[in-house]
């Protein structure tokens, strides 16, 4: 067993970061080697590894069975920190639940627009219907205007999500950094889209390392090309040690 590293805390986005983005969000595929690599890294970091995603925790757990990782789901609305799980209750969001019912009807005749009901948030995807982008964005913003200040729109890649204003990857990473075994460590956060930028902000403020996968404006300090490039780096870190991150060569 390799030495335990107590210097770093590793935070990883899921879609577009650990796995490739696919046209239908429920069709995402996890590389067969990934769960074992993450488990090895988790041990090497003394448990300070967490997945920070917009997906529900249940969904992520299902893709990574039988392994169990710390994680933040729904942009932090639910989380598992040091194995302690805190879930979001959809019953606490009656106005959002009502909206989910209405959205199905609003997009009924829009082929290729997918509504992803996550319980405490809802995402409108237009990856299969790029020409419907303006319609989807207008729908999301009109919905949030009707819901009031307790909700906001989170923009992603070919997706707009309506979620409680309290949610955010930066906030939840901050929360992890106040708890053992994350506390006092240098954070590394790897993400791929707008959703991750406020996570980068938190990590940069803590003197940590922010890593953006792929193209696009970013405040991240280093960039990697693709999820496969990141998986190669994670494997290197898992088997050879947590190295200072230098970019392309991990």
Question: Of 7-15, 135-143, 174-182, 229-237, which part binds Mg ion (CB under 5 A)?
Answer: 7-15
Residues 189-218 touching Mg ion, rule: CB under 5 A, are: 192
Nearest approach, Cβ of residue 10 and Mg ion (Å): 16
Question: By C-beta, is 143 or 158 nearer to Mg ion?
Answer: 158
Q: Helix or strand or coil: residue 80? A: strand
Strand order of the sheet with strand 159-164? 114-117, 122-125, 159-164, 151-156
H helices then E strands: how many in the chain? 7, 12
Nearest approach, Cβ of residue 198 and Mg ion (Å): 13
Strand order of the sheet with strand 186-191? 84-86, 78-81, 70-73, 49-52, 8-12, 186-191, 209-213, 222-224
Instruction: Check residue 78 for interaction with Mg ion (CB under 5 A).
Output: no
User: Which listed residue (15, 61, 70, 116) binds Mg ion by CB under 5 A?
Assistant: 15
Question: Of 15-23, 25-33, 87-95, 215-223, which part binds Mg ion (CB under 5 A)?
Answer: 15-23
**Tally of residues, the chain:** 250
Question: By C-beta, is 119 or 156 nearer to Mg ion?
Answer: 156
Residue 165 near residue 96, CB atoms below 8 Å: no
Distance of alpha carbon 80 from alpha carbon 157, whole angstroms: 25
Question: By C-beta, is 13 or 61 nearer to Mg ion?
Answer: 13
Here's the x/- map for Mg ion, 155-194, by CB under 5 A: it reads as -------------------------------------x--
Backbone angles phi, psi at 55, to 5 degrees: -75, 160
Structure tokens at 104: 């199905």
Instruction: Check residue 116 for interaction with Mg ion (CB under 5 A).
Output: no
13 as an active site residue: the answer is yes
Nearest approach, Cβ of residue 85 and Mg ion (Å): 22
Active site residues: 13
Q: Where does this chain bind Mg ion (CB under 5 A)?
A: 13, 15-16, 192
């Amino acid at each position: 067993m390799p030495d335990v590293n107590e210097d770093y805390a590793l935070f990883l986005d899921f879609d577009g970061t650990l796995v490739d983005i696919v046209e239908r969000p429920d069709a995402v595929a996890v590389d067969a080697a990934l769960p074992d690599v993450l488990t090895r890294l988790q041990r090497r970091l003394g448990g300070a590894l967490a997945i920070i995603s917009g997906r529900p925790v249940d969904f992520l757990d299902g893709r990574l069975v039988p392994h169990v990782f710390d994680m933040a789901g729904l942009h932090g609305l639910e989380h598992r920190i040091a194995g302690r799980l805190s879930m979001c209750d959809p019953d606490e969001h009656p106005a959002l639940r009502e909206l989910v019912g209405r959205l199905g009807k609003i997009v009924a005749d829009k082929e290729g627009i997918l509504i992803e009901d996550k319980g405490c948030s809802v995402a409108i995807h237009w990856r299969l219907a790029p020409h419907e982008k303006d319609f989807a964005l207008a729908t999301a913003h009109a919905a949030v205007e009707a819901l009031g200040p307790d909700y906001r729109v989170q923009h992603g890649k070919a997706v707009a999500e309506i979620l409680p204003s309290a949610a955010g990857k930066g906030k939840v990473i901050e929360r992890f950094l106040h708890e053992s075994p994350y506390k006092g460590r240098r954070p590394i956060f790897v993400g791929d889209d707008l959703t991750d930028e406020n996570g980068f902000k938190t990590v940069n403020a803590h003197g940590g390392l922010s890593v953006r996968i792929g193209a696009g404006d970013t405040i991240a300090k280093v960039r990697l090309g693709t999820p496969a490039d990141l998986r190669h780096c994670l494997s290197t870190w898992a088997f050879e040690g947590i190295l200072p991150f230098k970019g392309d060569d991990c």
